[in-house]
Structure 1
Amino acid sequence: MKIEQIYTGCIAQAAYYMESNGEAAIFDPLREVQPYLNRAEKDNATIKYIFETHFHADFVSGHLDLAKKSGGKIVYGPTANPEFEALIASDGQEFKVGNYTITAIHTPGHTMESTCYLLSDENGKPYGLITGDTLFIGDVGRPDLAQAMVADLTQEKLASYLFDSLRNKIMVLPDDLIVFPSHGAGSACGKNMSKETTDTLGNQKRSNYALRADMTKEEFTKELLDGLGAPPAYFPQNVLMNIKGYESLDNIIEKSNIGLLPREFEAVANESDVIVLDVRHENDFVKSHIPNSIFIGIQGNFAPWVGSLLRDVNQKLLLVIPEGREEETITRLSRVGFDHVLGYLKGGIEAWAAAGFETDSIHSIAPDEFAKQWHPESTVVDARKPGEFEAEHVENAINLPLDNVNENFQSIPKGDDFFLHCAGGYRSVIMASILKSRGIHNIINVEKGMNGIKQTEVACTQFQCPSGKK
């Protein structure tokens, strides 16, 4: 069977392309749709259907633009009620794509409209299952993302639906089916996803905690909900954009990809509702940046961090971008619904400084220097996730995860300078930029984070480490 996974690592998302006999189908496309059109053109195929597994929360899907450009029909599962033309499949409904058959299997739980798609080859033999966010490799979809959209729908009710869907709709399918999920490790749509992005259903039955045959519904619900943090604030906004529709990405790029000279940039930046977002490498940001700008580097998990920390997709943005990456940055912001870019700084930070405007910097030191300055009474703020912190951390460090900095920044120690680090140096600079924008400047950033700290000579004598040395 001809099916390809098109994986986008920065948001840990998988779309799928399937083709047979000159007809093609796309499953869960991203917002930039040209790659799917190009792929179909390569096969001299016509995109017949655009299948959506559910109303996505973590990204804005490309279904509308793709349907307009390809002529393909948008398909959702039962109970979906989009505010645009779409085919709402019934449970068990079959669709033909060339010689292949796609069967919609309604699997409520992650959301009420969640639907998996069973793929059968030209001989009618089941080959694979597009599972969306219902079943991941090593995990299942979190059941707390749709409750805000439906009255009286709790995460416990959704977990109960998901238990039934997994047992009655998915686990009864052949063990040799290939599972094709919508996400891998790094996505906020689950809590325990594997780095692998496909597997057989039989292996998942043996290894996935949520598919244990002897598990009761109560045990499933307890394990599924245990340790779930609050979903990112932008998730409900993305859901609404996927339900209601959105402006074409072509239009967004055209109106946002505007270079502004420093004085023009400064005039717009002084408006009260505008954030300057600097997407360069963290090493460049710490050396020189526009005062009060927020750093989220494009080389990392850029779009999810933008959504989680800036929160409101209607936020107006001005950008500081590495030369040549303007359209890429605007596109990646639009993946999570941030469509209100007002322009970028033409000539970059060099042009800003040359025009006589003020710049700021972050006091940043190498791990060896940190090891020299550190002592047990030092204040060290660790920006990593709790699980990372619990595995190993600097003695007496304070864990303040970047995810929660907007709520907890007031707990940052006042007065004397404090050290700030993460795992590799990316998240700590994001946090430092946010803290500085809130008037907290007594920061000493530790380059290379815990990865660098562990390489210092005193790492296992002065710091807790996995070996147990101290």
Structure 2
Amino acid sequence: MKIEQIYTGCLAQGAYYIVSNGEAAMIDPLRETQPYIDRLEKDQVKLKYIFETHFHADFVSGHLDLSRKTKAPIVYGPTAKPEFEAIIAEDNQVFKVGNITIKVLHTPGHTLESSSFLLMDENGKETALFSGDTLFLGDVGRPDLAQKAANMTQEQLAGLLYESLYNKILPLDDNITVYPAHGAGSACGKNMQKETVDTLGNQKKTNYALNQKDKESFIKAVTDGLLPPPAYFGMNVAMNKGGYSSFDEVLSKGLHALSPDEFEEMAEHSGALMLDVRNNEDFANGFVPQSINIGLNGDFAPWVGALIADVKQPILLIAGQNEEEETVTRLSRVGFDNVLGFLKGGFEAWKNSGKESDSVNRISAQQFEKEIKGKEAKIIDVRKESEYNSEHIDQAFNKPLAYINEWISSVDPAEHFYLHCAGGYRSMMAASILQARGYRNFSEIEGGFNAIAKTDVPKSDFVCQSKVLK
């Protein structure tokens, strides 16, 4: 038997590949399926089942494409109602894969169809739990995403989650290995550990949600401090439940090369958003006017989902050399399939064609220190609230990037302000959005708070983030 966790850091997502005696199973596969097919061919095994722990909100699963290409059936837990052919398993139903057995444990709460999969090895010993979004390491799945579909409150869903965890999972053996669907950085939970694998016994000791005195305290603990979910979540659920275009079609359409003239004409007539995925340093020095920067070298896909929101939005790409395929792939993982093409030759081709360019007024932390010394200044910190509470510039206002569409109208375009995040990745996103909407009277700080912390700019006292989050 072999269990392989295929972890994608950009999405903080874990897919699982299980092999036993010539047969294989996949759990929660990503959108692009070729890497899985390559594994199957290399191992000379047949994919028998594709298990889905629930209808995912934060990414588009590869279940449909993988099933079409391998003929393996898709398996959901009880109450799931997909709009395509699938096996809807009963609670405690078992599936044989080679010499191992996988049992379905219906564990509703995150969603109504949420299920965990318990693996028994060749000797019948309960060995591994693929817990989906029911149980994370250090946390549990948020119970507020399925309220509308379930016609229930988040408190009622949290109550279901309590029953699932305390009646189905906590009685299992401490030595069982827990393989969750997500890790730290995912918006599907609020307090996940950075580790991606643990024993159930250790989670029983360390996971706050598994150490509540009663159901009432559990509900309060897991619903406290939940931030609004990203706007694209509901659209991803609909795609996972109702179907989507094949990844091969999406990739072929997105890899349509456009000359600067063709790119400009399409931008003017298609209503497309111009998305520049270069790093923030390159973007600051020059970019196509009105383009938005979300760097490929960070948490790219979740930020696309949070800031663009509408998965049907037409997109035109401006990427670094040979980054176009990677960009289209990562966009498709969160359902942004409507890429119309990319600027052939990138920004250099645009610049060399003599077309108009724009840039961001980026200054160093040292220059920032000089400019504000002894003066009042408006400073916008776009980091998360927990980062801001940990330590911040004395004069700064906290305006998290995730909510820029809500706070941007409160910014006076006539008043100069300074903009920063932790290192420059998020503040450049904010800067590009601000400039695209006509805000020009600001300075973005290179290196963000990490660089500012090395200056004598007055700052609040440092507070450990782990304490802030409690």
**Normalising TM by the smaller chain, what interval?**
over 0.9
1:306 partner letter: V
Q: CA-to-partner distance for each residue in 1:204-231, whole Å, 9 max, x for gaps?
A: 011000001x521111111111111110
Residues 119-268 of structure 1: matches in 2 within 5 Å? 119-150=119-150, 152-212=151-211, 214-268=212-266
Q: CA deviation at 1:10?
A: 0.4
Q: Which moved more, 1:40-49 or 1:132-141?
A: 40-49
Q: Distance in 2 between matches of 1:328 and 1:271?
A: 26
Residue 466, structure 1, aligned to residue 462, structure 2 = yes
**1:339 alignment partner in structure 2:** 337
Q: Which amino acid aligns with 1:206?
A: K
Structure 2 partner of 1:41: 41
* Matched letter for residue 381 of structure 1: I
Deviation for aligned residue 1:465: 3.9
1:83 maps to a residue whose letter is E
Corresponding residue for 2:389?
390
Work out the CA distance in 2 between the residues paired with 1:279 and 1:215. 47
1:324: which partner in 2?
322
Q: Give 2:232's aligned amino acid.
A: Y
Shift of 1:368: 1.6
**Paired residue secondary structure (1:271):** helix
For 2:387 and 2:372, the matched residues in 1 are separated by: 21
Deviations 1:317-342 (A, max 9, x none): 00101110111100100000000011
Task: Give distance in 1, aligned partners of 2:265 and 2:296.
Answer: 25
Query: Could you say which residue in structure 2 is the equivalent of 1:104?
Result: 104
CA distance in 2, matches of 1:57, 1:306: 14
RMSD: 1.2
Deviates more, 1:352-361 or 1:331-340: 352-361
- Offset of 1:410 from its aligned partner? 1.4
Q: 1:302 aligns with which of 288, 291, 300?
A: 300
Quote the offset at 1:416 in angstroms: 3.2
Structure 2 letter corresponding to 1:200: T
Between the two proteins, what is the percent identity of the paired residues? 57
Structure 1 residue 292 displacement after superposition: 1.1
8 Å CA contact 2:177–2:197 kept in 1: the answer is yes
5+ long unaligned stretches in structure 1: none
Cα deviation 1:360-419 (Å, max 9, x = unaligned): 000001112212222351111000000000000001101000000001101224323211
1:315 is paired with a residue whose SS is: coil
Measure the CA separation in 1 of the matches of 2:441 and 2:400.
18
Deviates more, 1:433-442 or 1:123-132: 433-442
- Counterpart of 1:466 in structure 2: which amino acid? F
Structure 2 letter corresponding to 1:383: V
**Over residues 172-191 of structure 1, what are the superposed CA-to-partner deviations in whole Å (9 max), with x where a residue is unaligned?**
10011000000000000000
- Residue 95 of structure 2 aligns to a residue whose secondary structure is strand
User: Structure 1 stretch 408-417 or stretch 67-76: which is displaced more?
Assistant: 408-417
| Alignment partner, residue 361 of structure 1 | 359
Distance apart, 1:38 and its partner CA: 1.3
CA apart distance, 1:249:
0.2
Aligned to 1:94: 94
Give the structure 2 partner of residue 379 of structure 1: 378
Match of 1:420 in 2: 419
Whether 1:275 and 2:276 are equivalent positions in the alignment is: no
Alignment partner of 1:431: what SS? helix
Residue 348 of structure 1 corresponds to 346
Distance apart, 1:272 and its partner CA: 6.0
Matched residue, 1:29:
29
Secondary structure at the counterpart of residue 10 of structure 2: helix
> Residue in 2 aligned with 1:446?
445
Question: What secondary structure is seen at the aligned counterpart in 1 of 2:355?
Answer: coil
SS of 1:82's partner is: coil
Aligned counterparts of 1:190 and 1:440: Cα–Cα separation in 2 = 34
Contact 2:119 2:126 in 1 (8 A): yes
* Partner AA of 2:5 in structure 1: Q
1:37-71 CA deviation, whole Å, 9 max, x = no partner?
Answer: 11122211111000000000000000011011112
* Residue identity matched to 1:448: G
CA separation in 2, counterparts of 1:351 and 1:108? 52
Which piece of structure 1 moves more, 265-274 or 291-300? 265-274
Give the letter aligned to residue 464 of structure 1: S
Residue number in structure 1 paired with 2:468: none
Q: What amino acid is the match of 1:260?
A: L
Code of the residue aligned with 2:159 in structure 1: it is S
Report how far residue 467 of structure 1 moved. Answer: 8.0
Amino acid at match of 2:330: R
Which residue number in structure 1 is paired with residue 59 of structure 2? 59
With normalisation by structure 2, the TM-score equals 0.97
Deviation sequence 1:108-154 (CA, Å, 0-9, x none): 0000000000011000001010000000000000011111223x222
- For 2:332 and 2:88, the matched residues in 1 are separated by 26
Using the alignment, how far apart are the partners of 1:167 and 1:80 within structure 2?
22
Q: How many residues align?
A: 463
Q: Which amino acid aligns with 1:428?
A: S
Contact 2:389 2:463 in 1 (8 A): no
Residue 311 (structure 2) aligned to one of 307, 310, 313:
313
Kept in 1, the 8 Å contact 2:270–2:314? The answer is no
Contact 2:413–2:440 (Cα < 8 Å) also in 1 = no
